[in-house]
Chains A and B, each alone.
Chain A
């Protein structure tokens, strides 16, 4: 009896030793993936959101222009999110609406509603690297974070915004991505992204995205109220500022249909 007990103890001790060894032997790729999974798991279950936002576009010579929009988003299980964007400014696109079903490694599905023609137009969206509304954000920069979108490699620990952060390299799994790799800084406390560097197809630094003013929603979900994208090659930049954001507003898939797109206001 005693022997079996001590045996069990020994085995469990050995097992835990083995596990520690495994953690130490965890490759940079495995650690990167584990961080990504943790990041995603902390952001599950918010269901839907509605936001009022502005995009502030700046040219190289600091000319500034504001675009206003409303964004409706629906969280999807095991797929990219669905989004409906209604433009309020500039005036010539007021009432234009954009519907997007994002997917991790498949092309997104996109439709644009043109109110003057009462016409819904499908957009061929194989290429997610095109600019969104003339901004420095590409379509792929604005879609939801999904683990399958990238392969990962943990690089190092580093301070970012005065916090302890992981630095992780992400290689896009989508073959038509505009990037060869992204380098992301995530804080260890909440797995929130603070900075992302985007490297173009020639592997030179194209853009840097920084996240500012994180707010906590539903006691669980952190959202940055300002995203700043700086293009290093054109010296243009875009800020995406959220004025108002609410979660669990009762949106359903019916609110992201072609019929809903046609009556979006």
Chain B
């Protein structure tokens, strides 16, 4: 009895400085494709579910914390899309003007909306979404100084994560299967190559400035035709790269001006790329409570049509409508035009709203148009889709 009382007292004492939180995000997603796929194995529709629980525990009055976030997806059509990942398993210690993180984590760098050139720490979980916004958990040790003059972070990245690719039954695929089981590396250390990075982020009046340097395995693979037995496949080749990045944001009234620029050096080439644009928001449109935002971003890549990114000389125009209602309804429509090939364009739509405290609906759609074989969007020309999701949050 006494023992259990002591245990309760101890627990309560812990409770004073410790905090545990749990989160769950899950969704049922149904996709409809507008056209038959280019390849006979592909399907016209797809049902998929994912679950992403998250556990957070902090102690020492919040100076130490652990965050664990696994991710599981089942896809009814594409066995490559059925996958799991540890998005986060990370310990954070907060000191006086410094922070230390160790484990598997996620880091975001940058300011622009239409693509993220500067953001290179985490690998893209490409089977998740065509917009490359979903990332795989990255093993890392991060040390940050948090000072008056800005934040300076050093990253050591001891293990490389390979990009995920659709299987033969999935959409957004290439003519040949990507042989993800047999990747090639420039470095003899392969995925154990120690990558490192440093980033500074600070303020100059109304300007937010980010400078970054990355040296390590390129997250974007080249795909090399090869034979796997009798089957012609594409083997991902991960080279080494050094990348300098600059990102800026400036506030001027109701307008945000955004810039991201990189210089990347690989064994094959050395080039510049940038994204620059603005977002203007007007509040209370036509005497309503709606906010409307206008986005315009220009994407440039020095490599032109050899670019591995979709945007090499493209213009993105978008509008975001925020209803400011109880359900948090939002709508985003964007359109991307290739300025070299008038027939090459794409567009997307995102809409979402709450149903109640735990449920939400969402509609996502992507539309591609391309009539030039050299264009990367050409592969996707029959992959237009609409996706309806029912999301659960706890």
Q: Name A's B-contacting residues (CB within 8 A).
A: 57, 59, 63, 65, 89-95, 107, 109, 116-119, 122, 124, 126-127, 129-131, 134, 178, 234, 254, 257-259, 263, 265
Q: Are B393 and A127 in contact, with the CB atoms below 8 A?
A: no
Q: Are A122 and B281 in contact, with the CB atoms below 8 A?
A: no
Alpha-carbon distance between A95 and B54 when the two chains are bound, in angstroms: 11
11 A/B residue pairs, CB under 8 Å, sorted by A: A57-B326, A92-B354, A94-B23, A122-B249, A124-B253, A124-B254, A124-B280, A130-B284, A258-B201, A263-B92, A265-B21
CB-based nearest A residue for B322: A130
Alpha-carbon distance between A254 and B151 when the two chains are bound, in angstroms: 12
Q: How far is the CB of A43 from chain B (nearest CB, A)?
A: 28
Contact among A92, A107, A118, A130 with B108 in the assembled complex (CB-CB below 8 Å): A118
Check: B358 CB closer than 8 A to any chain A CB.
yes
A107 CB contacts on chain B under 8 angstroms: 251, 253
Q: How far is the CB of B115 from chain A (nearest CB, A)?
A: 14
Instruction: Identify 8 new A-B residue pairs, CB closer than 8 A, beyond the known A90-B393, A127-B254.
Output: A90-B357, A91-B393, A122-B111, A122-B249, A134-B327, A265-B19, A265-B58, A265-B62
Contact among A65, A89, A94, A129 with B284 in the assembled complex (CB-CB below 8 Å): A129
Check: B289 CB closer than 8 A to any chain A CB.
yes
Q: Are B283 and A129 in contact, with the CB atoms below 8 A?
A: yes
0/1 interface trace, chain B 12-38, chain A, CB 8 Å (1 if under): 000000010101010000000000000
Q: Is the interface of A mostly helix, strand, loop or mixed?
A: loop
Q: How far is the CB of B17 from chain A (nearest CB, A)?
A: 14
Check: B39 CB closer than 8 A to any chain A CB.
no
Tell me which of A59, A89, A92, A258 has the highest count of chain B C-beta atoms within 10 A of its own C-beta.
Answer: A92
Q: How far is the CB of A82 from chain B (nearest CB, A)?
A: 14
Q: Are B326 and A65 in contact, with the CB atoms below 8 A?
A: yes
Alpha-carbon distance between A92 and B58 when the two chains are bound, in angstroms: 21
Alpha-carbon distance between A265 and B151 when the two chains are bound, in angstroms: 20
Q: Are B146 and A124 in contact, with the CB atoms below 8 A?
A: no
Top 10 nearest A-B pairs by Cβ distance? A91-B393, A127-B283, A130-B283, A92-B393, A126-B254, A259-B146, A119-B108, A118-B108, A126-B253, A90-B357
Q: Are B58 and A130 in contact, with the CB atoms below 8 A?
A: no
User: CB within 8 Å of A: which of B33-73?
Assistant: 56, 58, 62, 65
Interface size on B, residues (CB 8 A): 48
A131 CB contacts on chain B under 8 angstroms: 289, 324
B151 CB contacts on chain A under 8 angstroms: 258-259
Alpha-carbon distance between A247 and B224 when the two chains are bound, in angstroms: 63
CB-based nearest A residue for B92: A263
Q: Are B251 and A134 in contact, with the CB atoms below 8 A?
A: no
Q: How far is the CB of A255 from chain B (nearest CB, A)?
A: 10
Alpha-carbon distance between A122 and B281 when the two chains are bound, in angstroms: 12
Q: Are B360 and A92 in contact, with the CB atoms below 8 A?
A: yes
B19 CB contacts on chain A under 8 angstroms: 265
Alpha-carbon distance between A140 and B312 when the two chains are bound, in angstroms: 42
Q: Name B's A-contacting residues (CB within 8 A).
A: 19, 21, 23, 25, 56, 58, 62, 65, 92, 94, 97, 99, 106-108, 111, 133, 144, 146, 151, 201, 208, 249, 251, 253-256, 279-284, 289, 291, 324-328, 354, 357-358, 360, 391, 393-394
How many contacting A-B pairs (Cβ < 8 A)? 89
CB-based nearest A residue for B19: A265
CB-based nearest B residue for A92: B393
Tell me which of A131, A234, A259 has the highest count of chain B C-beta atoms within 10 A of its own C-beta.
Answer: A259
Contact among B107, B325, B354 with A90 in the assembled complex (CB-CB below 8 Å): B354
A258 CB contacts on chain B under 8 angstroms: 151, 201
Tell me which of A63, A65, A89, A90 has the highest count of chain B C-beta atoms within 10 A of its own C-beta.
Answer: A90
Contact among B21, B208, B326 with A122 in the assembled complex (CB-CB below 8 Å): B208
Alpha-carbon distance between A254 and B60 when the two chains are bound, in angstroms: 18
Q: How far is the CB of A118 from chain B (nearest CB, A)?
A: 4
Alpha-carbon distance between A122 and B293 when the two chains are bound, in angstroms: 14
Q: Are A91 and B357 in contact, with the CB atoms below 8 A?
A: yes
Q: Are B325 and A91 in contact, with the CB atoms below 8 A?
A: no
B357 CB contacts on chain A under 8 angstroms: 65, 89-91
Alpha-carbon distance between A254 and B97 when the two chains are bound, in angstroms: 8
Given A117-B133, A119-B108, A124 contacting B251 (CB threshold 8 A)? yes
Q: Are A124 and B279 in contact, with the CB atoms below 8 A?
A: yes
B97 CB contacts on chain A under 8 angstroms: 254
Q: Are A254 and B146 in contact, with the CB atoms below 8 A?
A: yes
Q: Are B394 and A134 in contact, with the CB atoms below 8 A?
A: no
CB-based nearest B residue for A109: B251
Given A91-B394, A92-B360, A119-B108, A124 contacting B281 (CB threshold 8 A)? yes
A257 CB contacts on chain B under 8 angstroms: 146
Alpha-carbon distance between A178 and B255 when the two chains are bound, in angstroms: 18
Alpha-carbon distance between A129 and B285 when the two chains are bound, in angstroms: 12
Alpha-carbon distance between A195 and B208 when the two chains are bound, in angstroms: 39
Alpha-carbon distance between A263 and B92 when the two chains are bound, in angstroms: 9
Q: Are A124 and B56 in contact, with the CB atoms below 8 A?
A: no
B391 CB contacts on chain A under 8 angstroms: 92
A117 CB contacts on chain B under 8 angstroms: 108, 133
B354 CB contacts on chain A under 8 angstroms: 90, 92
Q: Are A178 and B284 in contact, with the CB atoms below 8 A?
A: yes
A129 CB contacts on chain B under 8 angstroms: 283-284
Alpha-carbon distance between A152 and B358 when the two chains are bound, in angstroms: 45
Q: How far is the CB of B136 from chain A (nearest CB, A)?
A: 13
Q: How far is the CB of B311 from chain A (nearest CB, A)?
A: 19
A178 CB contacts on chain B under 8 angstroms: 284
Q: How far is the CB of A214 from chain B (nearest CB, A)?
A: 29
Alpha-carbon distance between A263 and B326 when the two chains are bound, in angstroms: 27
CB-based nearest A residue for B97: A254
